Structure 1
Amino acid sequence: MTDARLSESPLPRLARLLPPWSGEMVPVTGGEVFVRSTPWRGPADDAPRERALYVHGLGGASTNWTDLAALLAVRFEGHALDLPGFGRSGPPRRYSIERHAQAVIDVLEWVTARPGPGQGQPVHLVGNSLGGLVSVWVATRRPDLVATLTLISAAMPVYRVPDALDRAITLVLLPGVPSLAERRLSGISPEERVRGLVQTCFGDPSRVPPERLEQVVEEMRERDEQPWAGQALTRSLRGLITSYLRFGRANAWRMARSVRMPALVVTGDRDRLVDPAVAGRLAEVLPDARLQVQPGIGHLAMMEAPEPTARAVLALAEDVADRARAVGQDSPTAQA
């Protein structure tokens, strides 16, 4: 494990409030998922042009990646999916880590098959929280699809849960309680839920512009119109926690030890949902990893601190490309 390097590549200056990127429905096993795409906007025609896939966390959506994808567009054609049951994606038959992982694999295959520069090349996979855990599964099952792996506050198995989730996890594992929780969630206004999420997920809630909060509230209202919205949250949480009880090859920590592509582990030292110490352990377990600890940042570094997060991701891609060139290999990060 080494400390993360920050790229010095010029980055675009973000507008105060970027609108969500447009998207389309993409077929996956058992249904469809919605995928937003961020076009490549490299500084020059001969600049590296690669592909990335972003995977959100529990209760999140593809819009969580709006700012980070805009910054990384200097190198990546970006794609962000709504996991089954979240955002604009329909619900799966069963909520589980395996089902989410299969959806990500299906979208990765779709991304690699798209015509243009980077076609057929492995993709840079970036996951947050639940999406980070799912990305570990994907990286071990289909390493041929993954160029680098970035894990932001990945929800790796722990056996002492944080206070912010302790009661919720206990309840959601009880028979019949998920349905009760779904009904209770439906009685809480979008404004109240967004305020609670911001207080829990951000190291400094004052960093969130009021316009961004209004955007998230509108997105929450849109989700509430879907009959499966509460189900997706509670049942995915249940699937997440039950996955922690697996041993042998199905254990995520054992999977992480078998990851072979270069990795970046990102955490905020004010993360209330995933203990920052988990990130340190994960960076040590992954065979080829670097660690970025962001001071004052919470659970959503890609939203709260998009620029330092982008610079760490870019540095990983740059260093992998340099390494490949040094040994005379063709690499997705060496493609222009």
Structure 2
Amino acid sequence: MTVQLYARDVGGGTPLVLLHAFPLSSAMWLAQREGLGGRFRVITPDLRGFGGSVLGEDEPSVDVMADDVARMLRVKGIDRAVIGGLSMGGYVAMALCRRHPDRVLGLVLAGTKASADTEQARDVRLRQAERLEHEGGTRVLVDEVLPFLVGPTTMRQRALVYGRVRGLVQAAPALAAAWAQRAMAARGDSFETLRGTRAPALVMVGDEDELSTRTDARAMAEALPNAELQVIPRAGHLSAVEQPDLFNQAVAEFVAALARTSR
């Protein structure tokens, strides 16, 4: 089944596609649409099953999610775009680099990692997927995933941000979240893909991120032939939501430099 992704599409200029984290939706990119839409064409799709996009009947796979994004670009008549992904969105962005490298003008990887899951992490994902399917609600995500999505500074000082993230987690459709967990559990290592990626890259990590660490970020930056690494202070896993101004500034400088050199 072919899935057409629902996407918010604002602004004009260099296309910047931002792929959301698990188990959120493109709603997480509000500050990016507002802060970057004046300079670039910011496209934020809901990955399959989340937000306004249907789940379809394909087997769980990050590659399928990447193909969805490539199809969306084709439908929109976009040859190449800067592809950005946070967490799960980063896995999809790396799959896009592997499967559709000609589509990637530049790459932004935030709060993500190129390594495959450990056996322990895989087991946790599959157990959560089973609970999501069995219970039909998001309690397991609120209990086990939400606590790691934002850093301690956000927990202490940004109650509204934490509340918003909690609301997005609670809004996740259980079957889509289960499908995505199975897709991420099955994904392979992406270091070879990164070593073969010619597009310039920006790797970002929150300095309080416990899920995707600075070590993970450094490993990706070192594997990529042309990458810079930025650490976002006082941010956990969702740096784009926790520190939107710093995140937007780094992305804007990266995309603007790319636009100048690709003319």
TM-score, normalising length: structure 1: 0.69
Q: Partner residue of 1:97? A: 62
After superposition, residues 167-178 of structure 1 pair within 5 angstroms as 169-173=122-126, 178=129
The 5-angstrom pairing of residues 56-67 of structure 1 reads 56-67=20-31
> Could you say which residue in structure 2 is the equivalent of 1:85?
49
Q: Aligned ranges for residues 302-321 of structure 1 at < 5 Å?
A: 302-321=240-259
Aligned pair in 2 of structure 1 residues 183, 281: CA closer, same or farther (>3 Å)?
same
Cα deviation, residue 221, structure 1: 6.0
1:36-72 deviations in Å (ceiling 9; x for gaps): 12234xxxxxxxx221111112211001111022111
Within the candidate set 110, 114, 129, 2:75 is matched to 110
Shift in CA distance, 88/121, structure 1 to aligned 2, threshold 3 Å = closer
Letter in 1 for 2:47: L
**Matched letter for residue 182 of structure 1:** E
Task: Name the CA distance, whole Å, in 1 between partners of 2:124 and 2:146.
Answer: 22
Matched to 2:174, the amino acid is G
Partner of 1:301: 239
271 and 219 in structure 1: CA distance in 2 versus 1, 3 angstrom threshold: closer
CA contact (8 A) 1:207 1:304 kept: no
Give structure 1 stretches of 5+ with no counterpart: 1-28, 41-48, 114-119, 224-228, 245-250, 325-330
Counterpart in 2 of 1:238?
182
Residue pairs, 1:244-263, within 5 angstroms: 244=188, 251-263=189-201
Question: Structure 2: which amino acid aligns with 1:270?
Answer: E
Counterpart contact for 1:172–1:181, Cα < 8 Å: no
CA contact (8 A) 1:179 1:231 kept: no
- The structure with more radius of gyration: 1
1:255 deviates by: 0.8
Determine if contact 2:19/2:47 at 8 Å carries over to the other structure: yes
- Residue 187 (structure 1) shift: 6.9
Which of these residues, 119, 133, 140, is aligned with residue 182 of structure 1?
133
Work out whether 1:55 is the aligned partner of 2:19: yes
Q: CA–CA distance in 2 between the matches of 1:221 and 1:171?
A: 19
How far did 1:172 drift? Answer: 4.1
- Structure 1 pair 220/178, CA: closer, same or farther in 2 (3 Å)? closer
Q: How high is the sequence identity, in percent, across the aligned residues? A: 25
The alpha-carbon distance between structure 1 residues 261 and 87, as it changes in their structure 2 partners (threshold 3 A), is same
Counterpart residue number, 2:111: 153
Tell me by how many angstroms 1:159 deviates.
Answer: 5.3
TM-score of the superposed pair, with normalisation by structure 2: 0.87
Change (3 A) 1:216 1:310: closer
Question: Once the 2 structures are TM-superposed, how far is the Cα of residue 155 of structure 1 from its aligned partner?
Answer: 3.6
Give yes or no for contact 2:146–2:166 (8 Å, CA) kept in 1: no
Q: What is the identity, as a one-letter code, of the residue corresponding to 1:202?
A: V
> Which structure 2 residue ranges, 5 or more long, are not aligned?
none
Shift of 1:207: 4.3
Residue in 2 that maps onto 1:200: 148
Is the partner of 1:32 in helix, strand or coil? coil
How far does residue 319 in structure 1 lie from its aligned partner after superposition?
A: 2.4
- 2-structure distance, mates of 1:240, 1:276: 20
Matched, 1:139 2:90: no
Once the two structures are superposed, residues 179-214 of structure 1 have per-residue CA deviations (whole angstroms, 9 ceiling, x without a partner) of 33433462739xx92x8655321112234353x566
Cα 1:187–1:239 change in 2 (3 A) is closer
Q: 1:217 to 1:137 in 2, by over 3 A?
A: closer
Q: Does structure 1 conserve the Cα–Cα contact (< 8 Å) formed by 2:205 and 2:230? A: yes
